């Protein structure tokens, strides 16, 4: 790449980054200054920044309850996703009759939007007696086909001789998965954690349908309740938004290195 091309691409990347980061900056700025969009004259730098609106948001709603509900559901989703997706991904690395059909079925089911399955999902959850419970909120997120394929491609990149050596060493298939495949698939594990956490943490529609009492509300539901109840609280609303988004960002930042590798593994496998 020539110097000129490199400079041009850097300028483009910087511009795109600025465009992407501006809304986030605006939310953070508003959350510490309370200045709404129509403040005149508009300012880039926040005037008199403070944490008052965070304190206000914290005490206005039962933040701890919302947070612990969301966290409990997200942790449950992440753990079950890791177990189910890894096992399914490992099974799909094997040869068995009808494997092509199973793969086709999985890929085809990815094309069905979640919204189209909400009614049957609701009926199933109701039949299981899990409406208005954390398990009921978490249930539809227990496995993601994207993550199954991610595990599959990661496992396939591991030399088959390692699996054979483990088999000769006396390991069962489950042990091979837990002792050999998963430790060698950190990018896939990280990607699975990030995606399942974010999907669970950010989901609004499904909890809205199955939750009936405030004690089971999650953060996105709390945000809507907050918005409906307190219209004239720009600073606190934005502070609440930051608090909702923060855990997802933290999880992403903690695992982003392996996450990026996870997304590119399948692409570079020969």
Partner 1 sequence: MATVEFSSLVKKYGPLEVVHSIDLAIRDGEFVVLVGPSGCGKSTCLRMLAGLEEISGGKILIDGQIVNEIEPRDRNIAMVFQDYALYPHMSVYENMAFSLQYRGFNKKEIKTRVAAAATTLGLTDLLDRRPKQLSGGQRQRVAMGRAIVRDPQVFLFDEPLSNLDAKLRGSMRIEIKKLHRRLGVTTVYVTHDQVEAMTLADRVVVMNNGRIEQVGTPEQVYHHPETLFVASFIGSPTMNLVPAEHDGTLLRLNDGSVLIRQPENKAAQPGAKMFGVRPEDVTVAEGPPPEGHSEVEVVVDVIEALGADTLVFATVAGSPFAARVPPATRLQPGASARLRFPNDKTHLFDADTGKALA
Residues that bind partner 1 (CB under 8 A): 159, 161-162, 164-171, 175, 180, 183-184
DSSP state of 46: P
Number of residues that this document lists for the chain: 270
**Minimum CB distance to partner 1 smaller for 125 or for 265:** 265
Helix (H) or strand (E) holding 74: helix 63-91
Least Cβ distance, residue 161 to partner 1 (angstroms)? 4
**Minimum CB distance to partner 1 smaller for 77 or for 255:** 255
**Minimum CB distance to partner 1 smaller for 165 or for 224:** 165
DSSP three-state, residue 205: helix
Per DSSP (E only), the strands in 46-198 are none
Least Cβ distance, residue 179 to partner 1 (angstroms)? 8
Least Cβ distance, residue 184 to partner 1 (angstroms)? 6
Q: How far apart are the first and last CA of the chain?
A: 26
Least Cβ distance, residue 224 to partner 1 (angstroms)? 45
Q: Which of 44, 50, 51 is nearest to 26 (CA)?
A: 44
Least Cβ distance, residue 164 to partner 1 (angstroms)? 5
Rounded to 10 deg, the angle between the 63-91 and 234-268 helix axes is: 10
**Minimum CB distance to partner 1 smaller for 167 or for 261:** 167
**Minimum CB distance to partner 1 smaller for 2 or for 160:** 160
Distances (CA, A) of 46 to 18, 31, 43: 18, 10, 7
């Amino acid at each position: 790449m020539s110097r000129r091309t490199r400079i041009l691409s850097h300028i483009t990347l910087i511009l795109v980054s600025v465009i992407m980061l501006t809304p986030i900056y605006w939310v953070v700025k508003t959350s510490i200054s309370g200045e709404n969009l129509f403040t005149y004259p508009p300012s880039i730098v926040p005037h008199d920044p403070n944490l008052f609106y965070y304190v206000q948001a914290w005490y206005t709603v039962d933040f701890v309850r919302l947070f612990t509900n969301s966290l409990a559901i997200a942790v449950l989703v992440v753990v079950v996703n890791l177990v189910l997706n890894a096992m399914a991904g490992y099974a799909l690395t094997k040869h068995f009759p009808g494997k092509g059909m199973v793969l086709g079925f999985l890929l085809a089911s990815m094309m069905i939007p979640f919204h189209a399955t909400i009614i049957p999902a609701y009926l199933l959850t109701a039949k299981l007696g899990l409406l208005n419970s954390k398990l009921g909120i978490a249930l539809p997120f227990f496995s993601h086909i994207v993550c199954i394929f991610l595990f599959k491609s990661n496992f396939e990149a591991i030399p088959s001789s390692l699996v054979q050596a483990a088999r000769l060493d006396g390991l069962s298939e489950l042990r091979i998965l837990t002792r050999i495949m998963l430790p060698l698939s950190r990018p896939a594990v990280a990607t699975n954690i990030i995606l399942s956490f974010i999907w669970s943490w950010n989901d609004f529609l499904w909890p809205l349908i199955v939750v009936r009492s405030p004690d089971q509300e999650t953060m996105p539901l709390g945000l809507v309740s907050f918005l409906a109840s307190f219209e004239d609280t720009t600073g606190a609303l934005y502070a609440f938004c930051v608090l909702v988004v923060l855990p997802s960002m933290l999880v992403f930042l903690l695992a982003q290195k392996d996450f990026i590798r996870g997304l590119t593994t399948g692409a570079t496998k020969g």
